[in-house]
Structure 1
Amino acid sequence: MSSQSADRGDAYVRAGAIVFGMGALATLVTFVPLFLHLTPLPTAAYWLSMLMPAGFLLALVGLFVNARAQKRRAASQA
């Protein structure tokens, strides 16, 4: 598992997890004022919530990159 493509896929998964976490935190921060009947945050704060699906997509791409690299390694050994 020390090939470059597997490391690249792992990096995508890690980056996706970080971006997803930032999006989840932004979602919590933007919705808390609505439940506590405070002044809503500006629209830009709601756009930060879109980091959550972007992070999920990035991690999914990393999983596909890892799967393809593993499939190539298995085919080369057979």
Structure 2
Amino acid sequence: MSTETQSTQAGAGDRLVRVGAVVFFVGAVATLVTVAPLFLGTEPFPSVAYAVCMLMGAGFVIAAAGVLRSIAAQRRQARSAQ
């Protein structure tokens, strides 16, 4: 397998997976920060902070789309090789 084929195959969904991981991480940190006042007994954050927590799910969906895109690219390549 040539290097060009490997780089094309690897790049099909990699960017989406990376972006999804970053968005998921931001959402996870926001979730930890939002839950902290419940344990510390302080004033809860405004509802906007809870909306930022939804980035965790959005990041998961973005990363899953990247994985599916890379699977589709690999299947196309396997079919064309036959």
Please, what TM-score do these two structures have when normalized by structure 2? 0.89
Is the Cα contact below 8 Å between 1:20 and 1:54 reproduced in 2?
Answer: yes
Q: Tell me which residue corresponds to 2:11.
A: 7
The number of residue pairs the alignment matches comes to: 77
Q: 4+ residue runs of structure 1 moved beyond 3 angstroms? A: none
Is the Cα contact below 8 Å between 2:20 and 2:62 reproduced in 1?
Answer: yes
Q: Which runs of 5+ in 2 are unaligned?
A: 1-5
Is the Cα contact below 8 Å between 2:13 and 2:67 reproduced in 1?
Answer: yes
Superposition map of 1:50-61 within 5 A: 50-61=54-65
In 1, Cα distance between equivalents of 2:80 and 2:37: 55
RMSD, matched Cα: 1.1
Q: Tell me which residue corresponds to 1:46.
A: 50
Q: Percent identity?
A: 49
Counterpart of 1:75, as a letter, is R
Superposition map of 1:1-78 within 5 A: 1-3=6-8, 6-78=10-82
- Residue deviations 1:6-63 (CA, integer Å, cap 9, x gap): 4141000000000000000000000000111100001000000000000000000000
